[in-house]
């Protein structure tokens, strides 16, 4: 029979073993739950991926089906398109045989454009467009139908812009920037290059293979020239716009160049056609990122235009963006006004103009997007009226101050009553007390008996007043070299010799040069209004 001590030890060991087994079971249970949760999350992820792939497959099947339908329609329309094109060529051939030079010039813009297009006179066409820049609305309306009169519209358009795009090849040292004309012509060429089939239209551009290769070469040449100048961001906005329009017009966009297209679109997002060009060039997937980038750069107004063009106005509500744009513009305007010198009122005037421009742009955006119900225009229009009123009052105050409060001009001078010479135009700015004549003839004085001859003095220069430091936001204009009067126009005097009275008497308007105090009766030079020196 076992002793009680041994039995107690066995019981303790049994309980210890049970406790160990209990801890092991708890650990296994915890591990099982973790594994169960892990596998459940994997199953959920796989299910989500399966659903995503299923939706993508359905979308791809729908796109493929639509593309196949489009291809079948285009294939079926080839015979009809060829027939219409041949009829069009016959019409052009018969129209070109009719003399139309003087008649077309007399009939107006439309007939002139059609006549030059029918003759394939690309140089004359470009010159005609440039010469009528003030009639740009009429040109924009009449060029698309006129370009359809060309035998080969693609070649005609590229020949027309070849002297200016992709690089300016004109020989003039300071040629006028004509990129705007290139943009106008390239935009008008899109309807002319579209298939005449009413169902297909611009989906099939009538650009021959040789013309398309030439268009690709022109695009490459522009990119190379832009990189040599420091990058596409450093090009002029019209030049960059012409490049994007060229790529879109001839459908020569390259997938590897999407980065360049996006950089141009963001850099010149304020141009009206940029949102549409971005979509045409295949940046649909990047539009949300472009809008966010514009918002981060403080270009909320441009972001609103991009959002509407891409159909993302629900994701990027326009009213908060416009209010943020107004607030940021006002802060920037106040900061510039506080940090700039306002001695001439130039910075204040610039801030006023900028604020007016911002308000007008926001008002136009609200009107174009029909947002009056969400963003009433009354407050904005009232602010605009107040700014215009302040600008008008400031102009009146400036005009009144420049006139010096007198009815006569500030620069008027009075001739001496005794027929003597006129006092110097800038007498108040001379450094000595000699009188310099403003007439080209030599000056002669009548001396009193007590006077001796004056010795020849050195010429007296005067400096041209310096313009205000803020001059068109650039460096101040260079100061001209001091002008030196000829020696024969300087009065002779002998330094240190006394004289009893001046040889002549001047009117009271010049302070009466007769008291011996520095040639002025009050010891001070006459003050001319600052406007006199402008």
Q: Which residues, other chains included, contact 97 with Cβ-Cβ below 8 Å and sequence gap of 6+?
A: none
What pLDDT, on a 0 to 100 scale, did the predictor assign at position 447?
Answer: 43
Query: Cα(130)–Cα(133) distance, rounded to whole angstroms?
Result: 6
What pLDDT, on a 0 to 100 scale, did the predictor assign at position 14?
Answer: 83
Query: Cα(15)–Cα(244) distance, rounded to whole angstroms?
Result: 85
Query: Does the pLDDT at position 493 exceed 60?
Result: no
Q: Is-contact 287 278, C-beta < 8 A?
A: yes
Report the candidate in 199, 197, 202 with the shortest Cα–Cα distance to residue 83. Answer: 197
Q: Please count the structural domains in the chain.
A: 2
Q: How far apart are the first and last CA of the chain?
A: 131
Query: Does the pLDDT at position 129 exceed 70?
Result: yes
Phi and psi of 475, rounded to 5°?
Answer: -65, 150
Q: What is the 3-state secondary structure (H, E, C) of 479-515?
A: CCCCEECCHHHECCCCCCCCCCCCCCCCCHHHCCCCC
The string of pLDDT tens digits covering residues 308-362 is 999 999 999 999 999 999 998 888 767 665 555 444 555 566 777 888 889 999 9
Residue 364, in any domain of the structure = yes
Can you state the angle between helices 153-161 and 209-228, rounded to 10 degrees? 20
% of residues, the chain, pLDDT over 90: 39
**Mean pLDDT for the chain?**
75
Q: Which residue has the tokens 């069009």?
A: 88
Residue 423, in any domain of the structure = no
What pLDDT, on a 0 to 100 scale, did the predictor assign at position 265?
Answer: 95
Query: Does the pLDDT at position 510 exceed 90?
Result: no
Query: Does the pLDDT at position 450 exceed 80?
Result: no
Q: Is-contact 507 501, C-beta < 8 A?
A: no
Helices (H), 369-464: 378-402
Query: Does the pLDDT at position 263 exceed 90?
Result: yes
The string of pLDDT tens digits covering residues 388-439 is 888 888 777 777 776 655 444 444 444 444 444 545 544 444 444 444 444 4
Query: Cα(467)–Cα(477) distance, rounded to whole angstroms?
Result: 7
Of 375, 393, 411, the residue that ends a domain is 393
What pLDDT, on a 0 to 100 scale, did the predictor assign at position 339?
Answer: 59
For the CA atoms of 510, 513, 519, 524, what is the dihedral angle to 10 degrees?
A: -40
Q: Is-contact 375 301, C-beta < 8 A?
A: no
Residue 33, in any domain of the structure = yes
Using DSSP, state whether 142 is helix, strand or coil.
Answer: helix
450: Cα separation from own chain's centroid? 73
Q: Which of 234-238, 364-368, 455-459 has the lowest mean pLDDT?
A: 455-459
**Which residue would you say has higher pLDDT here, 306 or 480?**
306
Query: Does the pLDDT at position 12 exceed 90?
Result: no
Q: Mean pLDDT throughout 73-93?
A: 75
What pLDDT, on a 0 to 100 scale, did the predictor assign at position 388?
Answer: 86
Q: Locate 55 and state its tokens.
A: 């939706």
Q: 353 vs 272, 333, 349, 390, CA distance in Å?
A: 21, 10, 6, 11
Using DSSP, state whether 436 is helix, strand or coil.
Answer: strand
Query: Does the pLDDT at position 287 exceed 90?
Result: yes
Of 5, 23, 49, the residue that ends a domain is 49
Q: Mean pLDDT throughout 252-272?
A: 93
What pLDDT, on a 0 to 100 scale, did the predictor assign at position 403?
Answer: 62
Residue 389, in any domain of the structure = yes
Q: What is the pTM of this model?
A: 0.60
Q: Which residue has the tokens 């008497």?
A: 505
Query: Cα(115)–Cα(150) distance, rounded to whole angstroms?
Result: 10
Q: State the pLDDT confidence band at 256, using cuts at 50, 70 and 90.
A: very high
270: Cα separation from own chain's centroid? 7
Residue 18, in any domain of the structure = yes
What pLDDT, on a 0 to 100 scale, did the predictor assign at position 355?
Answer: 86
Residue 107, in any domain of the structure = no
Query: Does the pLDDT at position 518 exceed 50?
Result: no
Q: State the pLDDT confidence band at 105, using cuts at 50, 70 and 90.
A: very low
Query: Does the pLDDT at position 387 exceed 90?
Result: no
Query: Does the pLDDT at position 107 exceed 60?
Result: no
Which of the given ranges, 82-96, 348-362, 365-379, 457-471, has the highest pLDDT on average?
365-379
**Which residue would you say has higher pLDDT here, 88 or 325?**
325
What pLDDT, on a 0 to 100 scale, did the predictor assign at position 8?
Answer: 76
Give the Cβ contact number of residue 178 at 10 Å. 20
Residue 6, in any domain of the structure = no
CB-neighbour burial class of residue 410 (10 A; exposed 0-12, middle 13-18, buried 19+): middle
Query: Does the pLDDT at position 364 exceed 90?
Result: yes
Query: Does the pLDDT at position 306 exceed 70?
Result: yes
Query: Cα(534)–Cα(415) distance, rounded to whole angstroms?
Result: 22
What pLDDT, on a 0 to 100 scale, did the predictor assign at position 96?
Answer: 56
**Which residue would you say has higher pLDDT here, 316 or 80?**
316
What pLDDT, on a 0 to 100 scale, did the predictor assign at position 94?
Answer: 67
Q: State the pLDDT confidence band at 166, using cuts at 50, 70 and 90.
A: very high
Show the domain range for 364.
Answer: 317-336+353-393
What pLDDT, on a 0 to 100 scale, did the predictor assign at position 301?
Answer: 94
Q: State the pLDDT confidence band at 477, using cuts at 50, 70 and 90.
A: very low
Q: Is-contact 500 405, C-beta < 8 A?
A: no
Query: Cα(196)–Cα(303) distance, rounded to whole angstroms?
Result: 35
Residue 377, in any domain of the structure = yes
């Amino acid at each position: 029979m076992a002793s009680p001590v041994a039995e107690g030890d066995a019981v303790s060991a049994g309980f210890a073993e049970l406790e160990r087994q209990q801890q092991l079971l708890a650990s296994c249970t915890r591990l099982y739950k973790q594994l169960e949760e892990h596998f459940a999350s994997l199953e959920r992820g796989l299910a989500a991926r399966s659903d995503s792939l299923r939706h993508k497959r359905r979308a791809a099947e729908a796109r493929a089906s639509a593309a196949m339908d489009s291809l079948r329609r285009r294939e079926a329309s080839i015979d009809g398109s060829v027939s219409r094109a041949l009829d069009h060529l016959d019409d052009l051939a018969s129209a070109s045989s009719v003399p139309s030079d003087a008649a077309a010039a007399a009939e107006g813009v439309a007939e002139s454009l059609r006549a030059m297009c029918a003759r394939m006179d690309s140089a004359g066409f470009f010159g005609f467009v440039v010469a009528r820049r003030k009639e740009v609305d009429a040109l924009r309306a009449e060029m698309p139908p006129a370009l359809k009169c060309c035998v080969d519209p693609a070649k005609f358009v590229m020949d027309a812009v070849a002297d200016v795009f992709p690089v300016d090849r004109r020989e003039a040292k300071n040629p006028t920037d004509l990129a705007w004309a290139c943009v106008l012509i390239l935009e008008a060429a899109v309807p002319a290059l579209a298939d005449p089939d009413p169902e297909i239209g611009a989906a099939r551009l009538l650009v021959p293979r040789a013309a398309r290769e030439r268009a690709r070469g022109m695009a490459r040449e522009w990119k190379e020239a832009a990189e040599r100048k420091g990058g596409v961001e450093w090009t002029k906005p019209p030049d960059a716009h012409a490049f994007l329009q060229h790529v879109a017009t001839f459908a020569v966009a390259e997938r590897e160049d999407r980065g360049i297209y996006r950089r141009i679109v963001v850099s010149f997002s304020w141009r009206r056609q940029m949102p549409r060009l971005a979509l045409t060039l295949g940046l649909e997937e990047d539009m949300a990122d472009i809008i966010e980038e514009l918002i981060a750069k403080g270009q909320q107004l441009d972001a609103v235009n991009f959002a509407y063009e891409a159909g993302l106005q629900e994701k990027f509500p326009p009213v908060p963006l416009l209010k943020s744009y107004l607030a940021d513009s006002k802060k920037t305007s106040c900061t510039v006004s506080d940090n700039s010198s306002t001695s001439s009122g130039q910075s204040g005037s610039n801030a006023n103009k900028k604020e007016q421009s911002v308000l007008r742009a926001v008002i136009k955006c609200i009107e174009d997007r029909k947002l009056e119900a969400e963003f009433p225009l009354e407050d904005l229009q009232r602010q605009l009226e107040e700014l215009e009123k302040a600008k008008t009052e400031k102009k009146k105050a400036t005009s009144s101050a420049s006139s010096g409060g007198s009815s006569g001009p500030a620069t008027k001078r009075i001739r001496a009553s005794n027929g003597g010479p006129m006092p110097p135009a800038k007498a108040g700015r001379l450094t000595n007390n000699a009188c310099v004549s403003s007439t080209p003839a030599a000056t002669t004085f009548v001396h009193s008996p007590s006077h001796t001859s004056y010795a020849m003095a050195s010429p007296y220069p005067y400096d041209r007043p310096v313009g205000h430091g803020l001059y068109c936001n650039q460096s101040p204009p260079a100061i001209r070299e001091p002008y030196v009067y000829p020696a024969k126009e300087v009065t002779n005097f002998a330094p240190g010799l006394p004289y009893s009275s001046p040889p002549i008497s001047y009117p009271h308007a010049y302070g009466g040069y007769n008291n011996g105090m520095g040639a002025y009766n009050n010891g001070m030079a006459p003050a001319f209004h600052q406007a006199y020196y402008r």
